[in-house]
């Protein structure tokens, strides 16, 4: 599959991004990474905040590539799109998919399902994705960087 095929299936819509939008998304990533490291927050919240940082990285990559995910299965599609946008390895995408499911359980079903170790791993994964995004934008879409 390709992003063009996803567009044909209406899983994506065309989107023209801007330097401002990418800067705003990166600011959200940085804010959430900092917030996820706040002492005393429950592990569930730390995981959730770091997961959001990772998601915004994927949203930025998709926007830079000229697309936006449709509403149906939005998080799933945004995560999976990383293979096509930034060429992220399947192992990292699988980790994000696992975190998406864990986050949904913690958000909608029950509290206390995330450990401090899982929260810390999510924070590190989001930070890694942030670094990868910055390098990818610099190499592939430098005009979108401030």
Give the model's pLDDT for residue 98: 85
**Is residue 145 situated within a structural domain?**
no
> Does the residue 52 lie in any domain?
yes
Q: What is the pLDDT of residue 73?
A: 83
Residue 49 lies in a domain: yes
Residue 110 counted as domain residue = yes
Q: pLDDT tens per residue, the chain (146 residues)?
A: 799 999 999 999 999 999 999 999 999 999 999 999 999 999 989 999 999 999 999 999 999 999 999 888 888 899 999 999 999 999 999 999 888 777 666 554 556 778 899 999 999 999 999 999 999 999 999 999 98
CA–CA separation, 103 and 39 (whole Å): 20
At 33, which CATH number? Answer: 1.20.120.330
Q: Using the structure block, give the residue that is written with the tokens 């610099």.
A: 138
Q: Mark 104-139 as b/e (b = at least 16 C-beta within 10 Å).
A: eebeeeeeeebeeebbbbbbebbbebbebbeebbee
The answer to whether residue 78 sits within a structural domain is yes
The total of structural domains in the chain comes to: 1
Answer whether residue 73 is part of any domain: yes
């Amino acid at each position: 599959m390709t992003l063009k095929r996803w567009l044909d299936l209406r899983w994506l819509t065309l989107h023209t991004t801007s330097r401002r939008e990418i800067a705003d998304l990166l600011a959200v990533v940085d804010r959430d990474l900092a917030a996820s490291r706040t002492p005393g927050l429950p592990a569930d919240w730390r995981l959730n905040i770091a997961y959001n940082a990772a998601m915004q990285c994927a949203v930025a990559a998709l926007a830079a590539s000229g697309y936006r995910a449709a509403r149906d299965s939005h998080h799933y599609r945004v995560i999976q799109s990383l293979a096509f946008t930034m060429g992220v390895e399947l192992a990292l995408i699988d980790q994000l998919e696992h975190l998406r499911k864990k986050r949904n359980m913690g958000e909608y079903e029950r509290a206390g399902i995330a450990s401090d170790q899982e929260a810390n791993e999510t924070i590190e994964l989001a930070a890694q994705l942030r670094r990868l995004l910055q390098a990818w934008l610099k190499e592939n879409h430098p005009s979108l960087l401030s």
